[in-house]
Chain A
Amino acid sequence: MSRRPAVMMPRWILLPAAVGAVFILLPIFALLTQVELTELPSLLSSAAALSALWLSLRTALLATVLCLVLGVPLALMLSQLRFRGSGILRTLILLPLVLPPVIGGIALLNTFGRQGLLGQSLEVLGVQIAFSTAAVVLAQTFVSLPFMVIAVEAAIRGVHKEVVEAAVVDGAGPTQLLRSIILPLIAPGLASGVVLAFARSLGEFGATIAFAGSLQGVTRTLPLEIYLQRETDPDAAVALSVLLIAVAVIVIGITRPRTAPDALR
């Protein structure tokens, strides 16, 4: 892969760039200084912490899979279809990005809850979502899906028209075109979508507490456990936060492909 030519940069941008980096890194550093290393193992090996970690990993992974299954087709549709109101639809689909997560949770409650729009029908089918792990996954998917859509849509728009046209001239059908041409070309965007969606799901708090509740092993994910621990044991809360950071760094490190997408390089 050829290196991109260095862009001419004015030197003065280094100052705000450094301030920006310090602004992010300093609080994380400050958090790390609060950790009592000797107590870390005992703080992290409690049954509550372990079940919260395990629940967070499971639900965030499931939510990411859902984001892939639903988000990629959605992004394809939004990038290709031009109909009246498609712009409005696109704005509405990205709404969870700006919506306070607690409001997202209330919206989900009004949809899937017992008194919600779909709640009655779901209850007839014997499905009760509230206070279940499924509710956690739904909450995470709701807030994470727009990240996947944005990342993938940007990647699709970056695919050169000529490549697609050439494939069509060579006789590729729509599904073949998608599988052999589009998906490989947007792989970096897809990867960053996965990373963003997983990270957002892992950190999800507001929608989960409003929609799913908080019960150890069922709905109490790591962010909820952190918030709860802070009530009585701030040290444990900090230790769990470090655990959450570590998990995020590891998973993002694994997921991020060697050929990192431009957006992340």
Chain B
Amino acid sequence: MRSSAGLLALALLVLSGCSPAPAEESPSAAQNAADQQISVFAAASLDEALRTVAREYEEDSGVSVLLSSAGSADLLAQLEQGAPADVFIPADLQTMQRAESGELIASPAQPIASNTLVIAVPEGNPAQIDSIQDLDTGSAGSSESSSPSLVMCADQVPCGALAQQVAEAADITLSPVSEELAVTDVLGKVRSGEADAGLVYSTDALRAADQVDAVEIPEAAEFPNLYPAAVLRDSPQPELAQDFLDFLSSAPGQEALDEAGFGPRSGTGFEPEDQP
């Protein structure tokens, strides 16, 4: 047993050896774009659209983009623990604010896209939902059996907070049968026909267009969900990272995001941070 402390030290040494190589390894490589790559941590809902953008950016600049897609909170937790990345694009401003207050961000965040809430219904709309008013259960919350089964995100998840705002604006009460942990789980319940309706982002409904129909919510237009993007403080190549962000905001980048169903990047509700 006397050697257990030594073993622990050994294990720690071995483990620390596994961490990524220091970024300063190739300082002179900045000119050589051919073997350069940037690591982008982006919200899962952006995955498909960003793949397209990344491909175009690679052709354009020769810099390859390593895309890491997951839930915004997952990505933030990884960044807080020192995961190496150059760019962070969460699905909501709150997550970006947490990253800012954690001093993970190098420059002010800029929005690259927006998304609005829609009602996803199984193909053919079996419960005949034509507007968000059809999901109202009234202030008393009665008529459990006759009301369509609604699935939405929990309050703690961005899409859930947004749904509550929209419900308030439409002056209705929602009584979901399930408050999911992610918008993909909401979509899954609608796709399988398990729920009559689900509140998801318009891009989610578009991606699943073969299995779900989307019902627009006029009130949701006032509450666009913005995707802020920023260069990370620990990025060893901030200029390159900024270049990718600029590409996202440029015409080709915006076109790809638009095709995936994302809305314009300028919308109400985004307060740019003070410029340095």
Which residues of A are in contact with B by a Cβ distance under 8 Å?
A: 15, 18-19, 22-23, 26, 106, 109-110, 113-115, 130-131, 209-210, 212-216, 219-220, 224, 227-232, 234
Identify which of residues 1-41 in chain B touch chain A, using a CB-to-CB cut-off of 8 Å: 3-4, 7-8, 10-11
Could you tell me if A209 and B8 are in contact, using CB atoms closer than 8 angstroms?
no
Could you tell me if A15 and B193 are in contact, using CB atoms closer than 8 angstroms?
no
In the assembled complex, the Cα of A220 lies from the Cα of B194 at a distance in Å of: 17
In the complex, residue of chain B having the shortest beta-carbon distance to the beta carbon of A15: B7
Q: Which residues of A contact B156 (CB under 8 A)?
A: 228-229, 231-232
- B221 part of interface (Cβ distance < 8 Å): no
- B58 part of interface (Cβ distance < 8 Å): no
Could you tell me if A213 and B151 are in contact, using CB atoms closer than 8 angstroms?
yes
In the complex, the number of residue pairs spanning A and B with C-beta atoms less than 8 Å apart equals 75
In the assembled complex, the Cα of A110 lies from the Cα of B188 at a distance in Å of: 12
- B189 part of interface (Cβ distance < 8 Å): yes
Give the total of B residues in contact with A, Cβ under 8 Å. Answer: 26
Asked whether A210 and B188 contact (CB < 8 A) given A22-B7, A113-B194, A114-B193, the answer is yes
Q: Pick the contact of B178 from A106, A115, A213, A228 — CB < 8 Å?
A: A213
Among B110-118, B129-137, B179-187, B234-242, the one that faces the other chain is B179-187
In the assembled complex, the Cα of A181 lies from the Cα of B51 at a distance in Å of: 63
Could you tell me if A231 and B73 are in contact, using CB atoms closer than 8 angstroms?
yes
In the assembled complex, the Cα of A184 lies from the Cα of B93 at a distance in Å of: 61
Q: Which residues of A contact B3 (CB under 8 A)?
A: 18
In the assembled complex, the Cα of A121 lies from the Cα of B207 at a distance in Å of: 31
Give a binary string over B64-82; 1 marks a CB under 8 Å from any A CB, 0 the rest: 0000000001000100000
Could you tell me if B180 and A213 are in contact, using CB atoms closer than 8 angstroms?
yes
Could you tell me if B181 and A224 are in contact, using CB atoms closer than 8 angstroms?
yes
Q: Which residues of A contact B10 (CB under 8 A)?
A: 19
Which residues of B are in contact with A by a Cβ distance under 8 Å?
A: 3-4, 7-8, 10-11, 73, 77, 149, 151, 154, 156-157, 176-181, 185, 188-189, 192-195
Could you tell me if A215 and B73 are in contact, using CB atoms closer than 8 angstroms?
no
Q: Which residues of A contact B149 (CB under 8 A)?
A: 131
A58 to chain B, nearest CB (A): 18
In the assembled complex, the Cα of A144 lies from the Cα of B185 at a distance in Å of: 23
In the assembled complex, the Cα of A26 lies from the Cα of B188 at a distance in Å of: 36
A129 to chain B, nearest CB (A): 10
A265 to chain B, nearest CB (A): 20
B84 to chain A, nearest CB (A): 20
In the assembled complex, the Cα of A216 lies from the Cα of B178 at a distance in Å of: 9
Could you tell me if A22 and B194 are in contact, using CB atoms closer than 8 angstroms?
no
Could you tell me if A227 and B181 are in contact, using CB atoms closer than 8 angstroms?
yes
Q: Which residues of A contact B179 (CB under 8 A)?
A: 213-216, 220
Could you tell me if B194 and A109 are in contact, using CB atoms closer than 8 angstroms?
yes
In the complex, residue of chain A having the shortest beta-carbon distance to the beta carbon of B154: A228
Q: Which residues of B contact A232 (CB under 8 A)?
A: 156
In the assembled complex, the Cα of A111 lies from the Cα of B245 at a distance in Å of: 45
Could you tell me if A18 and B7 are in contact, using CB atoms closer than 8 angstroms?
yes
Asked whether A22 and B8 contact (CB < 8 A) given A210-B185, A210-B188, A230-B77, the answer is yes
Asked whether A113 and B193 contact (CB < 8 A) given A23-B11, A228-B157, A229-B156, the answer is yes
Could you tell me if A19 and B178 are in contact, using CB atoms closer than 8 angstroms?
no
Q: Pick the contact of A114 from B11, B73, B178, B194 — CB < 8 Å?
A: B194
In the assembled complex, the Cα of A219 lies from the Cα of B188 at a distance in Å of: 16
Q: Which residues of A contact B73 (CB under 8 A)?
A: 230-231
Could you tell me if A228 and B188 are in contact, using CB atoms closer than 8 angstroms?
no
Asked whether A209 and B181 contact (CB < 8 A) given A18-B4, A131-B149, A214-B154, the answer is yes
A43 to chain B, nearest CB (A): 15
Q: Which residues of B contact A227 (CB under 8 A)?
A: 181
Q: Which residues of B contact A131 (CB under 8 A)?
A: 149, 177-178, 194-195
Could you tell me if B192 and A109 are in contact, using CB atoms closer than 8 angstroms?
yes
In the assembled complex, the Cα of A23 lies from the Cα of B7 at a distance in Å of: 11
Name 16 extra pairs, CB < 8 A, besides A19-B7, A214-B180: A18-B7, A19-B11, A110-B192, A131-B194, A131-B195, A210-B188, A212-B178, A213-B180, A214-B178, A214-B179, A215-B178, A224-B181, A228-B181, A230-B77, A231-B156, A232-B156
In the assembled complex, the Cα of A209 lies from the Cα of B154 at a distance in Å of: 13
In the complex, residue of chain B having the shortest beta-carbon distance to the beta carbon of A216: B179
Could you tell me if A215 and B181 are in contact, using CB atoms closer than 8 angstroms?
no
In the assembled complex, the Cα of A215 lies from the Cα of B185 at a distance in Å of: 13
Q: Which residues of B contact A212 (CB under 8 A)?
A: 178
* Selected A-B contacts with CB under 8 Å, 16 pairs: A18-B3, A19-B11, A113-B194, A131-B195, A214-B178, A214-B185, A215-B177, A215-B179, A216-B179, A219-B178, A228-B154, A228-B157, A229-B156, A231-B73, A231-B181, A232-B156
Q: Which residues of B contact A109 (CB under 8 A)?
A: 192, 194
